[in-house]
Chain A
Amino acid sequence: MQKHTFTIALLLSCLALVGSAQYSLLDQYILTVIMFMGINIILSSSLNIINGYMGEFSCGHGGFMCVGAYVSSVLSVALFTKDKVFGPALLPPDLAWLGFPFVILAGAGVAAIAGLIVALPSFKTRGDYLAIITIAANYMIISAIENMDVIGGPRGFQGMKRVINAMGDTADIPWMLIWIIIGTLFSIWIIRRFVSSTYGKGIIAISQDEVAAEIMSVNTNKMKIAAFMLSSGLAGLAGGLFAHVYGYVNPQSFNIMKSTECLVMVYLGGMGSLSGSVLSAVLFTMLIEALRFVIPEIDSLMHTMGILPDSYEISQVWKWVIIPLILFFLMQFRPEGILGNRELPDLFPKLRKLYSFR
């Protein structure tokens, strides 16, 4: 029994969340923040495969998220709703709840294939140049999608809300929250399994010393392909969920800023630490939401103190100064993050009794 404490507690808390959402105990805003926490957990832990465990530097995570978001949105709108562009629904909308996971997984699959753009050059190039390739991939994906007029181009794409409503017609439960919880748990589970498998050992070997790993018969190219595809695939999964929570996607919302957010989360949590990624994603989401309220407060405070001229107000743009600044100071003073290369049980050994890892 003691071995399963953690799993049972997790399931119970998820059930409590869904239940409180169902009976409107939590207001819509808090639910949205919780959903974004889930999405950010997927993003940061998936980027941690490359930046943390493999020791490479990928900063184009937003691009793969974009691929997943667009593919799953277009698929779900084309399959389950009547749309101006794609015509009538190809499948009855009653099946939306059944088809939704497959749609999201399709988006993740295409994003994983897009990850090959980065994975193939990574055989030869390393370090800074690979960072450039990832950023170039991010720009390329966004640019390519902006040039597709069928799916809205730079204006964005919408209609996913109708899919969610179709699910709500089938059964009136908080569908999106359930999908996000399932997606988050699935990603964490798969990353945990991956990292502790032979592949994960190989990836950690690559991060230590690539040449030595190659000599010790680690098939580095295969490992790199697996790591990049898994990472970008999970980013695509997060993107699909993101698109359906918002109900609207725009290529510019997945630009280098989004990638920076992912980077901040990874380095805040600590490289090569899954629990650190989860922790930092939760903290970071809270911080971002707190800034929404704190910035106007600071603004009014400074105006009453008379520090600022009346014409100037501190706007939400400062958020984008503060986020890079966090990472800047992290790099200067604590580059290993909260839990660098350690998991929570390493810090609190008593936790080991509460779960069994198979």
Chain B
Amino acid sequence: MLQGFLQYVINSLQWGSFYALIAVGYTLVYGVLLLINFAHGDIFMVGAYIAFFVSSMLIAELSGFASGWMLVAMAVPLTMLLTACVGVTLERVAYRPLRKKGAHRLYVVITALMCGLILENGNLALLGASRKKFPEMVDTVVLNIGGASITNLKLMVIFAAIGVFLFLHWIVTKTKLGMAMRAVSFDKFAVPLMGIPLNTVIVFTFILGSGFAGLAGMLFAMSYPILEPYMGALIGWKAFIAAVVGGIGDIRGAFIGGFLLAFIEIGVASVLPSSFRDLFAFSILLVILWMKPTGLFGIAKTTKI
């Protein structure tokens, strides 16, 4: 009984880590721009594909010289950097022109949705429908903790999520950049008057969010080594639900929401057939938005008349 429970906790922690890593991107962008970046799930997908190409390249070039862990240590920053470039490109091409025009927020949301679809289907059209198999970089070692098995990959994912949380918390609370971010989310119009470069802060936000989506893509591809163009759509939505559950615009909320959603989902999947999982996740979203529109950590805003 206890053994089964421990296994369940470990699996949920791993699954929740993916959610949390993606949800953080949603939360950062929303916190600064008040924009739901619907293309974020697909940036995660692009990150997984970039991880695939980077890793294949590294293995082909350096397989004799470096051990598996060294290759991973090289591939992760490269993947994060390239994915961040994709995110920033998206911001430059799609969102910034609209922001400059002062377009209605609705148009920005539609643009974001469409960018996601373009990324998905463009990937499908360019790379074909055949699924890619992620190369195995490190040997999985199964550890036993009190009868529950945990692989070194799962441990790595969980620790990566915790590390990212601490790093982000430090950035937002302790650095100048974090202060600028909070200032922008507080009042976008007064910030440029105070000499804070608005666009730089926004680009940095996108770099952070997309970079962690790339990290999540890499870890996800290492854990579940089958890549397909539509992998980002559903997990992106789920991560978004996690961000909303926790209260969007709050980093703690994103992490707690991610883990909470994973616990619920895996609990449901162990009782009911797994096809009910999505139904459950979306129903939870509906109920939460109905009861508490701002999420668990969100602050209720009043509309001025």
Q: Which residues does A use to contact B, with CB under 8 Å? A: 55, 57, 59, 117, 120-121, 124-125, 127-129, 131-133, 135-137, 139-140, 143-144, 146-147, 211-212, 256-257, 260, 263, 267, 314-315, 317-318, 320-321, 324-325, 327-328, 331-332, 335
B244→A139 contact, CB < 8 A: no
Q: Known contacts A124-B293, A129-B289, A137-B282; can you find 10 more A-B pairs with CB under 8 A?
A: A57-B110, A117-B286, A128-B36, A132-B289, A133-B285, A136-B285, A212-B305, A328-B94, A328-B118, A331-B114
Tell me the bound Cα distance from A314 to B121 in angstroms. 13
**Is residue B103 contacting chain A, with contact meaning CB distance below 8 A?**
yes
- A-B pairs with beta carbons under 8 Å apart, 9 shown: A128-B109, A140-B286, A143-B275, A147-B275, A317-B121, A317-B129, A320-B117, A328-B115, A332-B94
Minimum CB distance partner of A56 in chain B: B106
**Is residue B271 contacting chain A, with contact meaning CB distance below 8 A?**
no
Given known A59-B113, A315-B125, A321-B122, contact A120–B107 (CB-CB < 8 A)? no
Minimum CB distance partner of B124 in chain A: A317
Tell me the bound Cα distance from A113 to B97 in angstroms. 40
Minimum CB distance partner of B125 in chain A: A317
Within B267-304, the residues touching A (CB, 8 Å) are 273, 275-276, 278-279, 282-283, 285-286, 289-290, 293, 303
**Is residue B206 contacting chain A, with contact meaning CB distance below 8 A?**
no
Main secondary structure of the interface of B (DSSP, over half): helix
B282→A146 contact, CB < 8 A: no
Given known A133-B286, A321-B125, A332-B111, contact A128–B279 (CB-CB < 8 A)? no
Residues of chain A lying within 8 A (CB to CB) of residue B303: 211
Tell me the bound Cα distance from A212 to B114 in angstroms. 32
A320→B279 contact, CB < 8 A: no
A57→B289 contact, CB < 8 A: no
- Indicate which residue in A131, A314, A325, A332 contacts B109 across the interface (CB closer than 8 Å): A131
A140→B36 contact, CB < 8 A: no
Main secondary structure of the interface of A (DSSP, over half): helix
Please list the 5 inter-chain residue pairs (A to B) with the smallest Cβ-Cβ separation, ordered nearest first: A324-B114, A320-B121, A324-B117, A317-B125, A136-B282
Q: Which residues does B use to contact A, with CB under 8 Å? A: 36, 94, 97-98, 103-111, 113-115, 117-118, 121-122, 124-125, 129, 233, 237, 240-241, 244, 273, 275-276, 278-279, 282-283, 285-286, 289-290, 293, 303, 305
Residues of chain A lying within 8 A (CB to CB) of residue B118: 321, 324-325, 328
Residues of chain A lying within 8 A (CB to CB) of residue B105: 127-128
Residues of chain B lying within 8 A (CB to CB) of residue A143: 275-276, 278-279, 282
- In the complex, how many angstroms separate the beta carbon of B229 from the nearest chain A beta carbon? 9
Residues of chain B lying within 8 A (CB to CB) of residue A144: 279
User: Which residue, B282, B283, B285, has most C-beta atoms of chain A within 10 A?
Assistant: B282
Given known A317-B125, A320-B121, contact A129–B114 (CB-CB < 8 A)? no
B121→A335 contact, CB < 8 A: no
B103→A335 contact, CB < 8 A: yes
B293→A140 contact, CB < 8 A: no
- In the complex, how many angstroms separate the beta carbon of A333 from the nearest chain B beta carbon? 9
Tell me the bound Cα distance from A120 to B303 in angstroms. 20
Given known A317-B121, A321-B125, A335-B107, contact A121–B237 (CB-CB < 8 A)? no
- In the complex, how many angstroms separate the beta carbon of A205 from the nearest chain B beta carbon? 15
Tell me the bound Cα distance from A161 to B244 in angstroms. 44
- In the complex, how many angstroms separate the beta carbon of A204 from the nearest chain B beta carbon? 16
- Indicate which residue in B97, B240, B278 contacts A132 across the interface (CB closer than 8 Å): B240
Minimum CB distance partner of A135 in chain B: B237
Tell me the bound Cα distance from A135 to B285 in angstroms. 11
Tell me the bound Cα distance from A328 to B110 in angstroms. 8
User: Which residue, B124, B129, B286, has most C-beta atoms of chain A within 10 A?
Assistant: B286
- In the complex, how many angstroms separate the beta carbon of A349 from the nearest chain B beta carbon? 29
User: Which residue, B106, B108, B129, B303, has most C-beta atoms of chain A within 10 A?
Assistant: B106
